[in-house]
Amino acid sequence: MKRRPSLFAAFGSVVAAAGFVFACSGGSFDPSSKLTSVRVLATRADKPFAKPGDTVQIDALTVDGRETPGAPMHVYWLPLVCNNPRADLYYACFASLLGGGLAAPDGGVPDAGPDGGALPKLPSSISEPIDITAFLQEGPSYSVALPPDLVSSHPVVDGAPAPYGLSISFFVACAGRVFLLPPDKTNVSGQTLPVGCGPDKDNLLGASDFVFAFTRVYAYDALTNENPVVDGVLLDGKPVDLTQGVVLPRCASDNEADCEHALEVHVPDASWELNPTDKGSDGSVRHEQLYASYFYTTRTTKTKSTGRIVFDPVRGRVDDSANRLIPGHDADSGRVWIVVHDNRDGVAWVSFPVFVK
């Protein structure tokens, strides 16, 4: 049966994964940290604040958390150049998918080939899904060449800390093939997903097997930012070997607090950069805020919080930034991811295996 993907369902998966939420999930719902489907946890640009004319490498952190996956998950990047879209809206880029708007990262439109590259020129409208998998670049990384006029060609935005330009890239985590979909003329907002994923055009997959995602790269003439650095993970105060992981005993108590292990990601002071666009009431320049988000594929083992603040913009390093890793009552195994963000688009991540015996 043909299924039309919902923009809000697919993007909700990305937003929930990448967001920083302290609230606990109520009822029987799994917390957002628990990975049970195809998920996009984060993206990272090697230049969080780029300059016009830079080439930026983007890395995507994707995880296949399905317990019984069918087809394997792949990551595909759309060769869609979308610079300074109308009102900075990502969905304003969707119209470029038809009529020859898809192009290589340098803005050209080379001949299409089986190893990825630009799509051939498409008509301004299509009546049925078109398989575009062969024209997409597969892999966790993608490079984007920013045009030299990215900042100067962006409309002035009142209240912005400095003139900027914006480049948006799109990718999918897909357990199937990728199809360009006909526009939904009944959706006047223009926010309907432009692509779907499935074994064929008549059997498109839902949010458990498919995430459509985008990432923004901002360019400034003068502002700079570096990605934070993760230089270690501690469990109960001891360094974690990220290759070997950790082995925990099963929880033998009905009180989870009896089984908690302190889990802390360590970020060096040098990653707490000044934020020249954020000034206190006395005019002093404040620093960035850094926070860590936690995710896991273990079935009964969990983290107590979905996220923790690591550095406060004024007070600096937070004394008790440790999360809590709580093993379940049964044998378990899986993986934990810790994603560190600053509040200026900087990102870093680490992961390690967990075994409960």
Encoded amino acid at 80, one letter: L
Encoded amino acid at 336, one letter: V
Given a contact cutoff of 8 angstroms between Cβ atoms, the answer to whether 14 and 60 are in contact is no
Same domain, 215 and 240: no
**Residue with structure tokens 């051939």?**
120
Residue 2: inside a domain, yes or no?
no
**Of 178, 195, 220, which residue sits at a domain end?**
220
Same domain, 295 and 173: no
Beta strand 38-45 pairing with 55-64: antiparallel
pLDDT in the model for residue 102: 43
pLDDT in the model for residue 49: 97
Q: For the chain, first and last CA: distance in Å? A: 43
Helices first, then strands: H and E counts in the chain: 1, 25
Q: Using CA atoms, how far apart are residues 42 and 324, in angstroms rounded to an integer? A: 22
Encoded amino acid at 210, one letter: F
Q: What is the largest CA-CA distance in the chain?
A: 64
pLDDT along the chain (357 residues), means of 10: 36 29 37 94 97 98 93 93 91 72 38 50 75 94 96 94 95 96 72 90 94 96 97 98 98 96 98 95 95 97 97 96 97 98 97 98
pLDDT in the model for residue 122: 62
Residue 226: inside a domain, yes or no?
no
pLDDT in the model for residue 94: 84
At 239, which CATH number?
2.60.40
**Residue with structure tokens 């470029």?**
96
Residue 225: inside a domain, yes or no?
no
Same domain, 14 and 104: yes
pLDDT in the model for residue 182: 85
Q: Is 319 exposed, middle or buried (0-12, 13-18, 19+ CB in 10 A)?
A: exposed
Residue 297: inside a domain, yes or no?
yes
The range of the structural domain enclosing residue 347 comes to 232-356
Record the pTM: 0.86
pLDDT in the model for residue 24: 28
pLDDT in the model for residue 118: 61
Same domain, 192 and 241: no
Coil, helix or strand at residue 90: helix
Query: Tokens representing 176?
Result: 């199937």
Given a contact cutoff of 8 angstroms between Cβ atoms, the answer to whether 343 and 237 are in contact is no
Same domain, 156 and 236: no
Same domain, 119 and 158: yes
Residue 276: inside a domain, yes or no?
yes
**Of 195, 220, 245, which residue sits at a domain end?**
220
**Of 220, 253, 270, which residue sits at a domain end?**
220
Q: Using CA atoms, how far apart are residues 283 and 331, in angstroms rounded to an integer? A: 55
Same domain, 73 and 192: yes
Residue 19: inside a domain, yes or no?
yes
Query: Tokens representing 314?
Result: 């004024």
Residue 1: inside a domain, yes or no?
no
Number of domains in the chain: 2
pLDDT in the model for residue 332: 97
Same domain, 216 and 237: no
